Amino acid sequence: MDSLFCPILLSLLFLSTSSAAVRQGAPHFTQQATSPKPQIQQACKATRFPETCEAFLRGSGHVPPNPSPVQIIQSAIWVSSENLKTAQSMVKSILDSSAGNKNRTTAAKNCLEDLHNSEYRISSTAKALPLGRIKDARAWMSSALVHQYSCWSALKYANDTQQVNSTMSFLNSTLIVMTSNGLSMMASYDIFGNETGSWRPPKTERDGFWEASGGDQSKLGFKRGVPTGLKPNATVCKGGDGCYKTVQEAVNAAPDNDSSRKFVIRIQEGVYEETVRVPLEKKNVVFLGDGMGKTVITGSLNVGQPGISTYNSATVGVAGDGFMASGLTMENTAGPDEHQAVAFRSDSDLSVIENCEFISNQDTLYVYSLRQFYKSCRIQGNVDFIFGNSASIFHDCLILVSPRPLDPEKGETNAVTAHGRTDPAQTTGLVFQNCVVNGTEEYMKLYHSNPTVHKNFLGRPWKEYSRTVFIHCNLEVLITPPGWMPWSGDFALATLYYGEFENRGLGANLSSRVEWSSRIPAKHVGTYSLKNFIQGDEWIPHILDDEATAINH
């Protein structure tokens, strides 16, 4: 039993010996005689780290006597948010002691932004759970975990002091572990309800487990999207009176924390060379352009520049929930030799993007976290160009590989996607329905001149539980017969889930696929529908039937 308390004692020791900047009054984990041991032990069976789970919950003094399953989960959320405050003060002291060190300052700042977002998602989870909003709770806790992991990853590039090393250890072995535990319990609660006797650690499709699907609803997307007839609250234009000159100025004019009304920004035809940020407080912001290729937001930030991470290389970066966009191009023109250069990054829950174009090379579209719907979009790039750890559905999209670099005739290896799920309980994955995967005209010329040197894969596992499926898509000849590629050695090959279902085209032949990819069983395809995968039936607006017919005839 004593050994279970080691991590806690270690972190307490750290807290008491580290700099005074570290927040006082961190949770005291004294074991209480009244701790309802059997219920906690039972609930912790749902987690990947049951010993840490039990030790923290029993030590928290926060579990009421004779607790309900929801009360135990609420206590796990509380422990997670207390640990998060500790992490924030640790990272703050890294920042305070890093003046003049650009890499460490950037890492600490990104990390703090991630922790701030994580805090917001955890507190939303705590509110959703007692209301029975279990799908929201799972989505938000998944996102809280994405941000904690990103904070840890940011520090990895600046681990040159003992302080950074200890902070990383705390993030990885305490904060992330307890957040994972809370999330796993929510998954079991959603699947088995109050019957904690059935709770068990999270399973994935690779274990032969699919969540309830309720039939194939993959056609639902045809009738939903960005509503038509929206009236602008602000207009952006090039020259002319009475309009904002930059998109960012119009975003700044949106009210903070208004979760009931849309703020519609009409962006007139023109090229807007700027970096746009829609922060957490700006909710329900809508960008309406004059069409792909007509309204263009362009930038060229990339990780080759000092102080720029993949995250902040984005030309347009959105964190506020309920974001929508229609009729515009977002691009990053850093060029094929500049490594990661994101055109659009989204961390917006319940976001709808329609008729938009994304252009870059490596890392074009960063679907960072949460629930996103992309419809009739055009996405162009080459290396890992759709990536992140969100639950995103791409419907009717055109996905185009573009020529890469310096020596195009020599050939290259590209992965269309790199999904980054780090925990099997995260509700995330990339779902492609009715999409076309092809090359640009220029790329296909190169390809046909020597098909054997140009290799294109549907995806590769950025993180251990990477999940990506292609359903009813047209996969053109450029997709090589093995279909999917490893990240590094056998990393993630036993835990990822890469599924295909009724695709067509010369790249869809399954006979030579890698053995660690899967055919989705017909009875489980519904798991990836708008309704089941991202609860789209609750939040993606209906568009009128006749409009839907006109668009899709």
Ligand X SMILES: *[C@@H]1O[C@H](CO)[C@@H](O)[C@H](O)[C@H]1NC(C)=O
Site for ligand X in 247-276 (CB under 6 A): 255-258, 261, 263
Using H for helix, E for strand and C for coil, what is the string for 326-346? EEEEEEECCCCCCCCCCCEEE
Site for ligand X in 420-459 (CB under 6 A): 436, 438, 441, 444
Among 18, 42, 97, 103, binds ligand X (CB under 6 A): 103
DSSP one-letter code for 353: E
- Residue 314 · residue 286 · CB < 8 Å: no
Residues 6+ apart with CB under 8 A from 2: none
Site for ligand X in 118-177 (CB under 6 A): 120, 157, 159, 162, 165-166, 168-169, 172-173, 177
Site for ligand X in 291-350 (CB under 6 A): none
x-or-dash pattern for ligand X, window 223-242, by CB under 6 A?
--------x-x---------
Q: Which is nearer to ligand X, 90 or 530 (CB)?
A: 90
Q: Which is nearer to ligand X, 176 or 530 (CB)?
A: 176
Using H for helix, E for strand and C for coil, what is the string for 251-291? HHCCCCCCCCCCEEEEECCEEEECCEEECCCCCCEEEEECC
Q: Which is nearer to ligand X, 289 or 298 (CB)?
A: 289
Q: Which of 114, 136, 347, 384 is catalytic?
A: 384
Binding residue count for ligand X, defined by CB under 6 A: 33
Site for ligand X in 489-518 (CB under 6 A): 509, 511-512
Residues 6+ apart with CB under 8 A from 346: 317, 318, 323, 353, 366, 367, 368, 370, 372, 390
Q: Which is nearer to ligand X, 52 or 417 (CB)?
A: 52
In the block, residue with structure tokens 């829609």: 278
- Residue 273 CB, shortest distance to ligand X, in Å, is 26
Residue 64 CB coordination number (10 Å): 12
Among 413, 474, 486, 547, binds ligand X (CB under 6 A): 474
424, 354, 355: which is closest to 389 by C-alpha? 424
Residue 545: active-site member? no
x-or-dash pattern for ligand X, window 50-69, by CB under 6 A?
------------------x-
Strands 467-471 vs 518-519: parallel, antiparallel or unpaired: unpaired
CA distances from 392 to 50, 139, 369 (A): 30, 12, 9
389, 387, 435, 441: which is closest to 415 by C-alpha? 387
Which amino acid is located at 21 in the chain?
A
- Residue 51 CB, shortest distance to ligand X, in Å, is 11
Residue 384: active-site member? yes
Q: Which is nearer to ligand X, 17 or 33 (CB)?
A: 17
Q: Does 281 bind ligand X (CB under 6 A)?
A: yes
Q: Which is nearer to ligand X, 157 or 244 (CB)?
A: 157
In sequence order, what are the beta bridge partners of 344?
316, 365
In 3-state terms, what secondary structure has residue 371?
strand
Which residues are tagged catalytic?
Answer: 363, 384
Which residues would be at the binding site for ligand X (CB under 6 A)? 68, 103, 120, 157, 159, 162, 165-166, 168-169, 172-173, 177, 193-194, 231, 233, 255-258, 261, 263, 281, 436, 438, 441, 444, 474, 476, 509, 511-512
